[in-house]
Amino acid sequence: MFSWLGKQGGGRERGGAGSDVVQTVTGGLRDLYLRKLLPLEEHYRFHDFHSPALEEADFENKPMVLLVGQYSTGKTTFIRYLLEQDFPGMRIGPEPTTDSFIAVMYGDSEGNVPGNALVVDPKKPFRKLSRFGNAFLNRFMCSQLPNEVLKSISIIDSPGILSGEKQRISRGYDFCQVLQWFAERVDRIILLFDAHKLDISDEFSEAIKSFRGQDDKIRVVLNKADQVDTQQLMRVYGALMWSLGKVINTPEVLRVYIGSFWAHPLRNTENRRLFEAEAQDLFRDIQSLPQKAAVRKLNDLIKRARLAKVHAYIISYLKKEMPSVFGKENKKKELISRLPEIYIQLQREYHISAGDFPEVKKMQELLETCDFTKFHSLKPKLIEAVDNMLANKIASLMSLISQEESNMPTEMVHGGAFDGTMAGPFGHGYGEGVKEGADEDEWVVAKDKPAYDEIFYTLSPINGKISGISAKKEMVTSKLPNSVLGKIWKLADCDGDGMLDDEEFALAKHLIKIKLDGYELPGTLPSHLVPPSHRKPLQTAE
What b-and-e string marks burial along 193-228, b requiring 16 or more CB atoms within 10 Å of the CB? bbbebbebbebbbbbbebbebbeebbbbbbbbbbbb
- Cα 8 to Cα 18: distance, rounded to the nearest angstrom: 12
Write the pLDDT tens digit of every residue in 371-423: 999 999 999 999 999 999 988 888 888 877 777 666 665 667 878 777 765 55
HSE-CB of 294 using CA atoms within 13 angstroms:
28
- The reported pLDDT for the residue numbered 2 is 43
Pick the CATH number of 442-532 from 1.20.1250.20, 3.30.310.160, 3.30.1220.10, 1.10.238.10: 1.10.238.10
Q: What is the dihedral of CA 314, 319, 321, 327, to 10 degrees?
A: 130
Q: How far is CA 129 from the centre of its chain?
A: 23
Find all residues with CB under 8 Å of 434, minimum gap 6, and list them: 514, 519, 520, 521, 522, 526, 529
DSSP, res 197: B
- The reported pLDDT for the residue numbered 4 is 39
- The reported pLDDT for the residue numbered 255 is 87
Report the number of secondary-structure helices (H) and strands (E) in the chain: 23, 10
- The reported pLDDT for the residue numbered 537 is 67
Instruction: Look at the alpha carbons of 409, 411, 416, 418 in this order and tell me if their dihedral is positive or negative.
Output: negative
- Residue 176 in contact with residue 127, Cβ under 8 Å? no
- The reported pLDDT for the residue numbered 405 is 63
The CA-atom distances, in angstroms, between 191 and each of 85, 146, 163, 362 are 22, 26, 16, 24
Give the residue from 115, 2, 121, 1 showing the smallest Cα distance to 59.
2
- Residue 192 in contact with residue 223, Cβ under 8 Å? yes
- Residue 501 in contact with residue 464, Cβ under 8 Å? yes
- Cα 154 to Cα 61: distance, rounded to the nearest angstrom: 9
CATH superfamily of this structure's domain 63-274: P-loop containing nucleotide triphosphate hydrolases (3.40.50.300)
Cβ-based neighbour number of residue 441 at 10 Å: 6
Long-range contacts of 462-466 (CB under 8 A, 24+ apart): 464/501, 464/502, 465/497, 465/499, 465/500, 465/501, 466/499, 466/500, 466/505
Q: What is the dihedral of CA 477, 478, 481, 486, to 10 degrees?
A: -90
Residue 500: φ, ψ to 5°:
-125, 130
Write the pLDDT tens digit of every residue in 244-275: 888 887 767 788 999 998 878 888 888 888 99
DSSP string covering 443-511: -GGGGGHHHHHHHHHHT--BTTEEEHHHHHHHHGGG---HHHHHHHHHHH-TT-SSEEEHHHHHHHHHH
- The reported pLDDT for the residue numbered 199 is 78
Domain locations in the chain as residue ranges: 23-52+293-405, 63-274, 442-532
Q: Is 274 helix (H, G, I), strand (E, B) or coil?
A: helix
DSSP, res 411: P
Write the pLDDT tens digit of every residue in 274-289: 998 899 899 999 998 9
User: For the purposes of burial, counting CB atoms within 10 Å of the CB of 93, is it exposed (0-12), middle (13-18) or buried (19 or more)?
Assistant: exposed
- Residue 64 in contact with residue 76, Cβ under 8 Å? no
Per-residue tens of pLDDT for the chain, all 542 residues: 444 333 333 333 333 444 444 456 777 888 899 999 999 999 999 999 998 888 888 888 889 999 999 888 888 899 999 998 889 888 765 555 557 899 999 999 999 999 999 999 988 999 989 999 999 999 999 999 999 999 999 999 998 887 555 555 567 888 889 999 999 889 999 999 998 878 788 888 888 988 988 888 999 999 999 999 999 999 999 999 888 888 887 767 788 999 998 878 888 888 888 998 899 899 999 998 988 877 888 888 899 999 999 999 999 999 999 998 888 899 999 999 999 999 999 999 999 998 899 999 999 999 999 999 999 999 999 999 999 998 888 888 887 777 766 666 566 787 877 776 555 565 656 678 888 888 888 999 999 999 999 999 999 999 999 999 999 999 999 999 999 999 999 999 999 999 999 999 999 999 999 999 888 899 899 999 999 999 876 444 44
Find all residues with CB under 8 Å of 415, minimum gap 6, and list them: 83, 84, 147, 148, 149, 151
- The reported pLDDT for the residue numbered 88 is 87
- Cα 182 to Cα 320: distance, rounded to the nearest angstrom: 35
Where is 348: in which H helix or E strand? helix 339-350
DSSP, res 161: B
Find all residues with CB under 8 Å of 538, minimum gap 6, and list them: none
- The reported pLDDT for the residue numbered 408 is 60
User: For the purposes of burial, counting CB atoms within 10 Å of the CB of 439, is it exposed (0-12), middle (13-18) or buried (19 or more)?
Assistant: exposed
Give the residue from 258, 267, 362, 279 showing the smallest Cα distance to 314.
362
Q: How far is CA 467 from the centre of its chain?
A: 50
Give the residue from 162, 231, 243, 164 showing the smallest Cα distance to 199.
243
Give the residue from 200, 296, 285, 289 showing the smallest Cα distance to 248.
200
Pick the CATH number of 23-52+293-405 from 3.30.70.260, 1.10.150.80, 1.10.268.20, 1.10.3720.10: 1.10.268.20
Beta pairing partners, 277 = none
